[in-house]
Amino acid sequence: MSRTVRSIFAAGLAIVFATAAAAAQTPPPAEVEAEISDTMTLPSPVPTWFFVDGGWDMPGTSIFDGETGKMKGMVETRRLADMAIDPNGRYYYVSETIWSKVDRGTRQDMVSVYDSKTLNLVTEIALPGRILIGSRKNNFIVSDDGRFGYIYDFSPTSAVNVVDLSKRKFVTAVELPGCASLIPNPGVGFSALCSDGSLATVAVRGAKADITHTAPFFAASDDPIFDNFAYDRAKKESVFLTYTGQIYTAKIGPTPTVSAPFSIQAAAGIRPGETKPLELNWYPGGRQPLALHRATGQLFVLMHMGEYWSHKASGSELWQVDLATQKVVKRFVLKEAMNNVEVTQTDKPLLFLNDEKGDGVILDAATGEEKHKIENAGGGIISVPAS
């Protein structure tokens, strides 16, 4: 070999030996472990939680912890669906309409049942007819014992679907012309507000139902009642609020009784609201304008300065009404106009309010202090666990 060739050959052998030596010293690659995913679970609904529809412009109902302001999870609810919480804390129920081709095709009406701990779908209960949804607290209610669900229907006229939630099956449809906005009636069935100004009571006996009415107590054409009213299952009472600010309390039972109303404005020391046009005054307004702390009988009402028929206007103030004394005991000035309000049923209650932009705020009900502000929390209906 020439000197050049021998040099190249020697260099090559050196590289080979060096590579082999390095390979001998390099430990074998560690065995790759299989990736394991985990699944978080939630406790049963906590009294300080809020359930808010429409957060982050998504079809769902967000669950927030009022103490921390943090989101805990989301229940799958489609646009304008109505959600109810199992009084026993085991399930979330959603009455909804879907189409086989997203926005067309075969229509399906159902109650979807979700596990409260995993938020997984448990089952679907098919419904006949055409249910009316639209983010209304009282379009879909659950009996106080959690056994039955009552879902407002419109096919071809006003009716209510009765569903056995324990057996997961449809029971019957009760025709209820001119009535809507449902109220649990323990041991009887349910009650509903009617366009003739009465309160209907439906005694459900299997597939049959007996319907009775109270005497008319409000004028639906002149001074209607807000449909997102409050129900106290411990006292078996409902609290209603009219567009002019009249507050009624109804004792729910086989034969409901309705108290004489009082004016929220008069309770604050100003003249009562009127139906006359161009009369400027404080009026209630918003989609969900009132919230009841049931143990203390404190009613929180969103109020705005306007005239009659401005009932959709958001509230610039929140008034606290003591139902026992029929007095406004506090007036909270809000930083932003709010459209919905709800209150926890805890010893130290928290208020959750949201506006038309979907931002939410949590306030201390005793002081009005802002505890948390949540952007894009959801601008829809607010619910809290039953207690």
DSSP line for 106-130:
SEEEEEEEEETTT--EEEEEEE-S-
Mean pLDDT, range 305-324, rounded to an integer: 97
What mean pLDDT is predicted for residues 144-172? 94
In this structure, the number of other CB atoms found within 10 A of the CB of residue 360 comes to 26
- Least confident range from 25-39, 194-208, 304-318: namely 25-39
User: What pLDDT is attached to residue 268?
Assistant: 98
Quick one: pLDDT at residue 154? 86
Give me the pLDDT at residue 361, please. Answer: 98
Residue 202 has pLDDT above 60, yes or no: yes
Instruction: Provide the pLDDT for residue 132.
Output: 77
Percent over 70 (pLDDT), the chain? 91
Is the pLDDT at 59 greater than 60, yes or no?
A: yes
Q: Which residues contact 131 (CB under 8 A, 6 or more apart)?
A: 95, 97, 109, 151, 152, 153, 154, 161
pLDDT at 34 over 80: no
Tokens standing for residue 97: 């309409």
Write out pLDDT tens, residues 274-307. 999 899 999 999 999 999 999 999 999 999 999 9
Pick the CATH number of 76-216 from 2.130.10.10, 3.30.420.10, 3.30.470.30, 1.10.3720.10: 2.130.10.10
Confidence of residue 27 (pLDDT cuts 50, 70, 90): low
Would you say residue 16 has pLDDT above 90? no
Residue 116 has pLDDT above 50, yes or no: yes
- Token output for 375: 């952007």
Question: 199 with 214: CB under 8 angstroms?
Answer: yes
Closest CA to 94 of 118, 122, 64, 58: 122
pLDDT on residue 79: 75
Question: What whole-number percentage of the chain has pLDDT above 90?
Answer: 78
Give 206's pLDDT tier (boundaries 50, 70, 90). confident
Cα 94 to Cα 86: distance, rounded to the nearest angstrom: 11
- Burial pattern 263-302, b for ≥16 Cβ within 10 A else e, equals bbbbbbeeeebeeeeeeebbbbbbbbbbbbbbeebbbbbb
Q: Report the predicted TM-score, pTM, of the whole model to 2 decimal places.
A: 0.89
pLDDT at 26: 58
Q: Is the pLDDT of residue 10 over 50?
A: no
Backbone φ and ψ for 308, nearest 5 degrees, come out as -55, 145
| Average model confidence (pLDDT) across the chain | 90
Q: Could you tell me the residue ranges of all domains in the chain?
A: 76-216
Interval 375-387: pLDDT, tens: 999 999 999 997 6
Tell me the pLDDT band of 156, cut-offs 50, 70 and 90: confident
Residue with tokens 């926890």: 344
Q: What is the pLDDT of residue 130?
A: 87
Q: What are phi and psi of 18, to 5 degrees?
A: -65, -40
Pick from 66, 30, 18: which is nearest to 45 by CA?
66
